[in-house]
Chain A
């Protein structure tokens, strides 16, 4: 073990980053597969039905079956589509969804935080990368060359622009309390009190805007089945649809991770149970947030489009600004 650690310390930095990335990619993809199964099971139980239970015990092999199905399906490109952008769009979605994990820390040891890159402007970088995610959807919808995808992508663009603003503002309250933009520093600042307590309004705004940013129910107007067939990915089939699907779930996971880091104290232990490793606490909190996400989908009906816009601009944004001003005043007076 000592020799192994010594070799690892001597390895060049690019090799270490490569190994970390490969491990993390594996973990995130596996989590995606089981988050999907988890969601179908929970939706099933909430609707008094068993959920997927045919492939393997309790349906545990369902993700593998789904993956095989998606890979074997024919990859169609409509005649009216713009071939280059049509092929590019799913990759943009996937790339932006995965690259966020380069800066998300999962735990802490004596040698530093557990992350691929411990970036000082971590939270800003997360904002920057997630703001690029909209291109996959808007370009994909445009390039499909038919009307439902185009409508879906236009809705998505408008929705993401409107809600991103309130989301960034809800971050700033946390940043002011923590006094740093590094994610490790933000978690460190929550050792005594989680930021969900002083920033409760900010947390509510973050949850609402994050659900809207990831285009999940009740904000899934982008792919509203009853009006738009399947929205922006109507024309996509096989693995290209699969890439969009993976990106959506990975984005959900990102939102859960960011909520844990900013509002639930990251890897800080609950009830003083410090013997449980920080990573376990982090994963438990992320899991609880993901469950909440699925609970929302099972409970709430979809928003109407004009209400969605009015809600974003006339309610969320003023509340986020008010929260920011009050937090700033309190921080300034407490020194």
Chain B
């Protein structure tokens, strides 16, 4: 219980830091801390596989790309804090909406009766047959949840192809393809002159 409160405060604090940070890299570091705290929260809820995947996929792969892009683009760029500070104006309406939504959520949660945990969920985290373990998760993913799993994978692939199509189209229309080809050929020749093998 103490762990839950510490993690919750940490999660909210890092989330706020992520959106209010003055530099993009600070936002990424905030998000990183947020993801790690979230993984620990999952672990405390005995969702072992989800916790590990949270770190491998989000922290280990996606955020690394964020850091890569930010490091590539923003080195030496002034922080975001230049320009008018719009936070005070937006604060009041946003807080109002948040409080109303939160109140509705609490009302809804307090009205529903939670199903009592079955005997199967109890036991040491991660052992087979206990809720959230790697073995159970895998079995569910490839039997009862196979169709949603494959459909999700397909949708993600469509998105990736769409990105390639859009980016490829932009490259063609800017008319720099021939120029890029020329640069590439010159580089190739320079390498060959220097002795490739």
Chain A residues engaging chain B, CB cutoff 8 angstroms: 82, 84-85, 88, 119-121, 124-125, 127-129, 131-132, 134-135, 138-139, 141-143, 145, 150, 153-154, 157-158, 160-161, 164, 181
Contacts and interface: CB of A to CB of B under 8 A. Distances in A.
Nearest to A80: B76
Nearest to A160: B64
Interface string B35-59: 0100100000000110010011001
Interface in B84-126: 125-126
Given A120-B48, A121-B126, A124-B134, A138 B64 contact: yes
B61 interface: yes
B52 to A, nearest CB: 4
B72 interface: yes
A85 B79 CA distance: 14
Contacts of A121: 48-49, 52, 126, 133-134
16 contacts: A82-B25, A88-B29, A121-B49, A121-B126, A124-B52, A125-B52, A127-B56, A128-B56, A139-B29, A142-B25, A142-B71, A157-B67, A157-B68, A158-B68, A161-B68, A181-B134
A120 B127 CA distance: 6
A135 B64 contact: yes
A58 to B, nearest CB: 41
A145 B74 CA distance: 11
Interface of B: 23, 25-26, 29, 32, 36, 39, 48-49, 52, 55-56, 59-61, 64-65, 67-68, 70-72, 75-76, 125-128, 133-134
Contact of A120 (B29, B59, B126): B126
Q: Which 7 pairs from chain A and chain B are nearest by CB? A: A131-B60, A120-B126, A128-B55, A142-B71, A124-B52, A157-B68, A128-B56
A142 B26 CA distance: 12
Given A120-B127, A121-B49, A138 B68 contact: yes
Contacts, number: 87
Contacts of B48: 119-121
Contact of A119 (B39, B60, B126, B128): B126
A131 B67 contact: no
B126 A164 contact: no
A88 B28 CA distance: 13
Contacts of A132: 36, 55, 59-60
Given A85-B29, A121-B52, A128 B60 contact: yes
A167 B153 CA distance: 22
Contacts of A82: 23, 25
B32 A129 contact: no
A139 B65 contact: no
Contacts of A125: 52
B133 A120 contact: yes
Contacts of A124: 49, 52, 56, 134
B32 A138 contact: no
A207 B52 CA distance: 23
A211 to B, nearest CB: 19
Contacts of A160: 64
Contact of A161 (B32, B61, B71, B128): B61
A142 B75 contact: yes
Given A154-B71, A161-B64, A139 B25 contact: yes
Given A127-B52, A153-B71, A157-B71, 5 more contacts: A85-B29, A124-B49, A128-B59, A131-B60, A145-B76
Contacts of A88: 29
Given A84-B26, A139-B25, A164 B60 contact: yes
Contact of A150 (B36, B75, B133): B75
Contacts of B23: 82
Contacts of B127: 120
Nearest to A124: B52
B67 A142 contact: yes
Nearest to A89: B29
A128 B75 contact: no
Contacts of A161: 61, 64-65, 68
